[in-house]
Amino acid sequence: MEGRSVTRLLVIEDEELVREGLLANLKLEGYEVLGCANGVDGIEAYERESPDLVILDLMIPGFDGLEVCRRIRQSGRGTPIIILTAKCSEVDKVVGLELGADDYLTKPFGMRELFARI
């Protein structure tokens, strides 16, 4: 979309209905999107595709979301990360942000709020 600095998104979410819903809605908004169901595939897609932003669930198989966040930060690219998770305690939020996430959104969430955060 014209004027947007974020156009390519990687969604790492193991719940198929949530992932597919996110991908469909993000495509409707004009984003180029790729989805992965686990942390291992997510890291591989991140390295291969160089997305502009990552939307990351914490409770995913393979590498959990915190490990994925850690590895993305170790890449040195500075790609923004939005954690999108059911884990809603203050401790969970602080840990995610301290590991390098740029934002933290808890489920259930509204698509308009997610779009605003992107």
Q: Model confidence over 78-108: pLDDT tens digits?
A: 999 999 998 888 898 999 899 999 999 999 9
The rounded distance, in Å, linking the Cα atoms of 41 and 44 is: 5
- pLDDT average, residue stretch 36-46: 98
Rounded alpha-carbon distances, angstroms, from residue 46 to 27, 80, 87, 113: 18, 12, 23, 24
In this prediction the pTM is 0.92
The rounded distance, in Å, linking the Cα atoms of 62 and 6 is: 27
Per-residue pLDDT at 27 exceeds 70: yes
Helix (H) or strand (E) holding 23: helix 16-28
Q: Output b/e per residue, 29-38; b: 16+ Cβ within 10 A.
A: eebebbbbbb
